[in-house]
């Protein structure tokens, strides 16, 4: 598959600081995400927004009038419900949402991209220690009107009965491959490979959740392949699961917390990312104020498709089927040749598109490749390879960009001197 086929090749002329001579006196200021123009859709038109505002004003006036009237309710009276409905309607919240999946290998910059899109530093955990930062699907949504704190965090866990069912399922998947006779002619190579993959995924979950217990090992799980042996293993793992020390308030299957800062949010999210919790965590939601989220966007950070833990890979594959758009994140230096980009595209197309790829050539699949670490590019080499006559970036476009950069540098120096 040629991944360059979905990468836009045309670049717009820079207009960040207006057109004209580099020596002009155009006012230059730092980019402000809050001043971004809304999408060119009817919802954001002045008439539509004015209508919404009028509706909320009417609801507000109605709620106040009903409360001030101090009418005495009688049996069967709908007055309390009407007041409640009016209060709800005056807090308009758009219901139309679109989910963008952020996908990529560990260390490619997924969390940094999320931080940039939200314009909030460090709300998504970043790291350069070689370990995956995203163990659970984490959704970033617009803060709701009933949320009191700047950031609200929700983590959904499996109930104890769901955990017990999961334990039985993963134990069966983990042990099943060992029940087969290597010479069993009734099992095709494809079936055997699928069973092996399911066994490895199941082992990944079990090892993450219970690997810290003394005596736990793959050998212990498969030592006795009789029904009695399975019952002993199941009972022991179920007992360990019942002894899990959940975060305070998570016994009901849902844990909610609040944070005043991005650092505090990141710290609280990291609890559910710990090995003993994430195999039993359905999803994490973070509600926060951000310009991009006001448009009905939901950002979903996913574990990578080449994660060493196969259970996390399966969680990502399942969630991708429910996303509207997919961003594949990769370092710009290897965007064309990186194997993870190609494998991610193949996985998405095969699972997400099915026969649609053959019918439309993939035109209906909303995938974008986001290149990170652009500062690592060798500028001299990049200019030579990409700029000039008959190349991807015309000379005049590059010249305009150079002028923009020089104007920005001058403005920055002027602002620094003014502060001093």
Cα separation, 121 vs 290, in Å, equals 12
186 DSSP 8-state letter: T
The CB-based long-range contact list for 117-120 (8 Å cut-off, 24+ gap) reads 117/290, 117/292, 117/299, 118/288, 118/290, 118/292, 118/293, 118/299, 119/33, 119/290, 119/291, 119/292, 120/262, 120/288, 120/290
User: Domain check: are 123 and 170 in the same one?
Assistant: no
User: Domain check: are 154 and 164 in the same one?
Assistant: no
**Geometric angle at alpha carbon 197, from 305 and 328, rounded to 5°:** 10
Does a structural domain hold residue 51? yes
User: Domain check: are 328 and 260 in the same one?
Assistant: yes
pLDDT for position 61: 85
pLDDT for position 296: 84
User: Domain check: are 131 and 258 in the same one?
Assistant: yes
Cα separation, 357 vs 384, in Å, equals 36
Is residue 335 classed as helix, strand or coil in its secondary structure?
coil
- Burial (CB < 10 A; 0-12, 13-18, 19+), residue 174, is buried
User: Domain check: are 262 and 113 in the same one?
Assistant: yes
Residues 6+ apart with CB under 8 A from 394: 387, 388
Domain harbouring 306, CATH code: 3.40.50
DSSP string for 71-97: PPP-TT--HHHHHHHHHHHTS------
R_g over Cα of the chain: 27
Cα dihedral angle (174, 179, 184, 190), rounded to 10 degrees?
-10
Q: How many residues are given for the chain?
A: 420
Does a structural domain hold residue 1? no
User: What is the distance, to the nearest Å, from the Cα of residue 289 to the centroid of all Cα atoms in its chain?
Assistant: 16
Cα separation, 122 vs 116, in Å, equals 9
User: Domain check: are 284 and 327 in the same one?
Assistant: yes
Structural domain ending residue among the three candidates 187, 217, 242: 242
User: Domain check: are 215 and 363 in the same one?
Assistant: no
User: Domain check: are 215 and 310 in the same one?
Assistant: no
Cα separation, 108 vs 130, in Å, equals 11
Token reading at 345: 């595209």
User: Domain check: are 299 and 362 in the same one?
Assistant: yes
| pTM of the complete model | 0.72
**Do residues 323 and 300 make contact, with C-beta atoms less than 8 angstroms apart?**
yes
User: Domain check: are 299 and 365 in the same one?
Assistant: yes
User: Domain check: are 265 and 341 in the same one?
Assistant: yes
Alpha carbon distance, N-terminus to C-terminus of the chain: 55
Domain with 198, as residue range(s), is 160-242
Does a structural domain hold residue 405? no
pLDDT for position 118: 93
The total of structural domains in the chain comes to 3
Predicted confidence pLDDT, tens digits, the chain (420 residues): 333 333 333 333 334 334 444 445 455 666 677 777 777 777 777 787 788 788 888 888 888 887 777 666 655 567 777 777 777 777 666 667 889 999 888 788 899 999 999 999 889 887 654 455 677 899 999 998 888 899 999 998 888 888 888 899 889 988 888 887 645 667 788 888 888 888 888 898 899 889 999 999 999 998 888 889 999 999 999 999 988 888 776 666 788 999 999 999 998 888 877 777 888 888 999 999 998 898 789 999 998 777 666 777 788 888 888 888 999 898 888 777 767 677 777 666 666 555 455 555 555 668 888 999 888 888 888 888 888 888 888 989 999 989 988 888 887 777 666 655
Does a structural domain hold residue 354? yes
Does a structural domain hold residue 396? no
Cα separation, 192 vs 357, in Å, equals 28
Does a structural domain hold residue 29? no
**Do residues 359 and 349 make contact, with C-beta atoms less than 8 angstroms apart?**
no
**Do residues 284 and 168 make contact, with C-beta atoms less than 8 angstroms apart?**
no
User: Domain check: are 338 and 259 in the same one?
Assistant: yes
């Amino acid at each position: 598959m040629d991944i360059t086929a979905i990468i836009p090749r045309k670049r717009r002329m820079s207009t960040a600081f207006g057109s004209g001579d580099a020596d002009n006196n155009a006012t230059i200021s730092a980019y402000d995400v809050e001043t971004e123009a809304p999408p060119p859709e009817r919802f954001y038109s002045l008439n539509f927004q004015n209508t919404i505002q009028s509706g909320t004003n009417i609801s507000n006036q109605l709620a106040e009038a009903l409360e001030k009237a101090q009418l005495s309710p009688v049996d069967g009276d709908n007055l309390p419900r009407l007041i409640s409905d009016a209060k709800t309607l005056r807090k308009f919240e758009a219901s139309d949402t679109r989910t963008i999946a952020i996908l990529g290998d560990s260390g490619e910059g997924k969390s940094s991209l999320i931080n940039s899109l939200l314009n909030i530093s460090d709300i998504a955990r970043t790291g350069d220690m070689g370990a995956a930062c995203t163990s659970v699907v984490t959704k970033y949504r617009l803060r709701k009107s009933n949320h009191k704190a700047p950031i609200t965090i929700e983590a959904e866990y499996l109930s104890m009965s769901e955990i017990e069912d999961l334990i039985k399922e993963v134990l069966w998947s983990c042990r099943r491959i060992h029940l087969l006779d290597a010479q069993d002619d009734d099992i095709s190579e494809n079936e055997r490979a699928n069973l092996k993959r399911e066994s490895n995924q199941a082992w990944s979950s079990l090892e993450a959740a219970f690997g810290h217990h003394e005596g736990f090992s793959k050998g212990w799980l498969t030592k006795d392949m009789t029904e009695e042996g399975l019952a002993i293993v199941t009972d022991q793992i179920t007992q360990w699961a019942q002894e899990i020390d959940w975060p305070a308030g998570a016994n009901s299957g849902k844990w909610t917390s609040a944070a005043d800062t991005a650092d505090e949010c990141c710290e609280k999210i990291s609890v559910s990312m710990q090995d003993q919790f994430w195999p039993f965590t359905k999803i994490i939601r973070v509600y926060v104020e951000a310009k991009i989220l006001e448009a009905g966007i939901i950002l979903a950070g996913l574990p990578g498709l080449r994660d060493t833990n196969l259970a996390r890979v399966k969680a990502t594959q399942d969630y991708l089927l429910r996303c509207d758009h997919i961003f594949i994140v990769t370092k710009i230096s290897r965007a064309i040749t990186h194997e993870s980009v190609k494998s991610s595209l193949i996985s998405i197309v095969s699972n997400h598109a099915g026969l649609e790829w053959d019918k439309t050539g993939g035109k209906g699949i909303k995938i974008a490749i986001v290149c990170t670490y652009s500062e690592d590019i060798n500028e001299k080499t990049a200019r030579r390879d990409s700029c000039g006559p008959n190349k991807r970036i015309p000379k005049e476009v590059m010249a305009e960009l150079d002028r923009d950069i020089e104007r920005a540098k001058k403005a920055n120096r002027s602002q620094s001197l003014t502060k001093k």
